[in-house]
Structure 1
Amino acid sequence: MSIAFATPWILLMLPLPLLVWWLVPPHRERTAALRIPFFRSVTAATGVRAADGARVLARSRLQVLATTLCWILIVVGLARPERLGDPITVTNAARDLILAVDISGSMDDRDMETPEGDRVQRLQAVKDVVRAFVAEREGDRIALIVFGANAYVQVPFTEDLDSVAELLEQTQTGMAGPNTAIGDAIGLAIRAFEDSEIEERLLILLSDGADTASAMSPINAAEIAADAQITIYTIGVGNPDGSGEERLDPATLEDIARRGGGAFYYATDVEGLAEIYAEIDTLNPRVTDSATYQPREPISHIPFALALLIGVLTSAYLHLARGQKAAA
């Protein structure tokens, strides 16, 4: 445990009583006196020794010691002593990251192959990979946007990574409509970043279809995002040779990523999808802003209480001692 003073300059007052004692003359006052003849004869007869007219009251060692201790304790208390706790390091988010996940009806297709050779639902494969990716993002603030025919903020910016993974797990295909609105998802991400005061902003957008429902063109949205200093990575998991809503448009996703200063990736299986997120993680390592501080607990009340206790006990002792002398 260590002690520090909030106002250490107050300790300069410690020698003040000595300076007063050295530099200020003793207090003098005039008192009434009775003059009688034959004064020396009277004092000799009564056995009383005459004292000087000017007299400085004597103080016992106990009074001097108690007064000195009380003064030191009062000055120490005025200097505001504080007990310092163990240093605490606080890590703040230094980057905001948005995951935009396509949950249109086509994400229900079971064409994503696992390393064991099993075929799983596209959205479930994304959930499994993103869960591991999110778990490694400690220090980032993450938001989750889901989109189909419309785009919605599923999770606003938070450092609670478990909540992001849990709410993504609860997401089901078709919840946002059957179509695909990539441009609206980017536009919603731009609006979400408007409230962010962090300079580094990253958007990872995953889709398995072509844009068919956006009110804003995905290319225009990407240009606006680039002007807002938002880096965009796009991931395609669909079939480029499909038709209608299920046809992946890699050219558009690649153009979005190029305009957003990121990169486009295409995944055909779960392992490839995991490698893509690992590469994105390598290209954008975790960035944190940490600060260390020591908690301070004021303890001024301790020296003040000790000074009061010493003063009360000393006064009580001197009062009792004076009473015993008077009785004797």
Structure 2
Amino acid sequence: MIEFGHPFVFLMLPLPLLIYFFLPAHRQRVAAFRFPFFRELARSAGQEPQAGAIVFSRTRLQNGVAILIWGLLVCALANPERVGEPITQEKAARDVMLAIDISGSMDQRDFPAADGQRVQRLDAVKRVVGDFIDARDGERVALIVFGAKAFVQAPFTEDLATVRALLDQTEVGMAGPHTVLGDAIGLAIKTFQTSEIEDRLLIVLSDGADTGSRMTPINAAAIAAREGVEMITIGVGDPRGTGEQRLDERTLTDIATTAGGQYFFAGDETALGDIYERIDAQTPKKIDVSVYRPKKPLAHFLIALSAAIGLATLGLLYAFKTRRRLA
């Protein structure tokens, strides 16, 4: 389909007629003598007759070509475009950050799996989080892992397969035995600051036992709230445990409350999966959808055609004139 980008330009089509009728060529009558033997008289005086200031009338061919070229040029100025089929583009409208605890406490095999067996906390988290990542199609996902240090395992990307592969490769203790939950939240905030997307979701999975952060988790959560980061904390572990192995639900609840978010307790693998379904229901996936139709400009074809017609007409008129002279 062909469309015109500037259709109002077609109002210029009658412009030559308006000029012809309202601004006619200057005409003047002058006295003159007509000599049937003018050429012989000029030659006897040693002069060569030349064309005078006379405006010759145009032929039908010239008028037709002039009208055609003017129409082509006006069409070119109207910016004709060949419009293709609609193409739909989807891009992320929200950034999702996953911060996963891989400290030594996540090595405890006290997490009930779907089949009733006790499995390692991190293994259960990786299985459920992996499915959650796969469902983020259209959103950008980033992954932070933390132990004694916090690291960006995967920056924001729509390549979900790579994020899941990096998650599957993480092991307990890769970042040290301790838990720097506050520093992990701080690193997440810093990573969000490089994003131009305003809708931001941070999901923290941990046992909540912060053992060495330079910034307390509560202070980090307050900063996250000021930065507009929505935060959800998920507790993984046994609330009845002892020492660093115990799930610190109070800290995780305070973090979520300070950031204006929610805290969830994952008592087993099934409950962890249900939590992600609830997160999807409360904060559904957001995608910006834009539809555009590719356009190919055609004006240069019309300009080239008008030039070719003009040159061909000049050549034809010159040939006719030469033939008459020879005749």
Contact preservation (8 Å) 1:180, 1:245: no
Call closer, same or farther: CA 1:25–1:198 in 2, change over 3 Å: closer
Q: Deviations over 1:68-103 (max 9, x none)?
A: 111111122223222223333333332222111001
Q: Which residue of 1 aligns with 2:263?
A: 264
Q: Which residue of 2 aligns with 1:153?
A: 152
Determine whether 1:2 maps to 2:39. no
Larger displacement relative to structure 2 (26-35 or 75-84): 26-35
Contact preservation (8 Å) 2:86, 2:291: yes
Contact preservation (8 Å) 1:106, 1:209: no
Paired residue secondary structure (2:162): helix
Determine whether 1:165 maps to 2:155. no
Instruction: Report 1:104-123 matches (<5 A).
Output: 104-123=103-122
- Cα displacement (A) at 1:206: 0.4
Contact preservation (8 Å) 1:108, 1:122: yes
Distance 1:229 1:310 in 2: 64
- Cα displacement (A) at 1:270: 1.9
Paired residue secondary structure (2:148): coil
TM-score normalised by L of structure 1:
0.85
Distance 1:205 1:26 in 2: 84
Distance 2:169 2:236 in 1: 20
Paired residue secondary structure (2:114): coil
Q: Which residue of 2 aligns with 1:175?
A: 174
Paired-residue identity, %:
54
Determine whether 1:130 maps to 2:134. no
Q: Which residue of 1 aligns with 2:222?
A: 223
Amino acid in structure 1 at the alignment position of 2:132: F
**Structure 1: unaligned runs, 5 residues or longer:** 40-52
- Cα displacement (A) at 1:304: 0.4
- Cα displacement (A) at 1:31: 10
**Structure 2: unaligned runs, 5 residues or longer:** 39-51
Distance 2:78 2:229 in 1: 51
Number of residue pairs aligned between Structure 1 and Structure 2: 314
Instruction: Report 1:289-300 matches (<5 A).
Output: 289-300=288-299
Amino acid in structure 1 at the alignment position of 2:2: S
Call closer, same or farther: CA 1:158–1:198 in 2, change over 3 Å: same
Q: Which residue of 2 aligns with 1:287?
A: 286
Call closer, same or farther: CA 1:30–1:128 in 2, change over 3 Å: farther
Q: Which residue of 2 aligns with 1:85?
A: 84
Paired residue secondary structure (1:290): strand
Q: Deviations over 1:110-163 (max 9, x none)?
A: 343433345443222212211211222234332211100111112222233233
Cα RMSD for the two superposed structures: 2.8
TM-score normalised by L of structure 2:
0.85
Instruction: Report 1:14-25 matches (<5 A).
Output: 14-25=13-24
Call closer, same or farther: CA 1:95–1:38 in 2, change over 3 Å: closer
Q: Which residue of 2 aligns with 1:50?
A: none
Q: Which residue of 1 aligns with 2:194?
A: 195
